[in-house]
Amino acid sequence: MEIIFFIVVVILIVLGIFSIISGLFSSVRIKEKVMGPFKLVYKEHIGPYKETGKIQDEIYHKLLNEENIETYSGFGIYYDDPQNTPQNELRSKSGCILEEKDYNNIHQLDDNYNFMELEKQKFIYTEFPFKTKLSIILGTFKVYPKIEKHVEEKGYEKREVMEIYDVPNKNIIYLMPIEE
């Protein structure tokens, strides 16, 4: 009985440390910031948002291995509120952000890729640590309510949210365009 208790305590401690590392106690500060432009390579997706990570990985590996283009940030643009839209109807775009050094190589890429440029614009902006896959889930629960509160307080129109998975800096950047 003591061994089982010890194992349960160890598991709870490990889960607690993992949650803390993943951002459980990270604060969320909403700002407004001008960012961009971003050149995006993406695929459109309809279905659960949790499937978009696989699309980012697929595009990343194709760009790196087939096109010799290295990217450091994945992204997802999420158009629908999963609390109000059935999972199989959620719309998103998912892929990678091209680095400025590769902008001139876009013309070399074949028709299997979709491209889009997000112009320089003003966004609702915040960051959340990206240490583990759990960080993405914790970020969703901590960041989106703060964004919604900011939108309501400022009287902005609720829009799509872009999540940028900034791997080198270990951050998830959340952006919602502002139309004034």
Q: What is the pLDDT along the chain (180 residues), one digit of tens a residue?
A: 788 766 777 777 777 776 666 666 678 899 999 998 999 999 999 999 999 989 998 888 887 777 778 888 999 999 999 989 999 999 999 999 988 887 777 766 766 778 899 999 999 999 999 988 888 888 898 999 999 999 999 999 999 999 999 989 999 999 999 976
* Structural domain count, the chain: 2
Q: What is the pTM of this model?
A: 0.87
Residues 143, 170 within the same domain: yes
Q: Among residues 91, 117, 143, which one ends one of the domains? A: 117
| Per-residue pLDDT, 21 | 64
Residues 42, 62, 53, CA angle at the centre, nearest 5°?
Answer: 50
Under DSSP, the state recorded for 117 is E
Residues 43, 32 within the same domain: no
Q: Give the integer Cα–Cα distance in Å for 39 and 63.
A: 14
Residues 124, 151 within the same domain: yes
66: CATH: 3.20.80.10
Q: Give the integer Cα–Cα distance in Å for 135 and 179.
A: 29
Range of the domain at 106: 38-117
DSSP β-ladder status, 38-46 and 121-129: unpaired
* The residue type at 43: K
| Per-residue pLDDT, 171 | 94
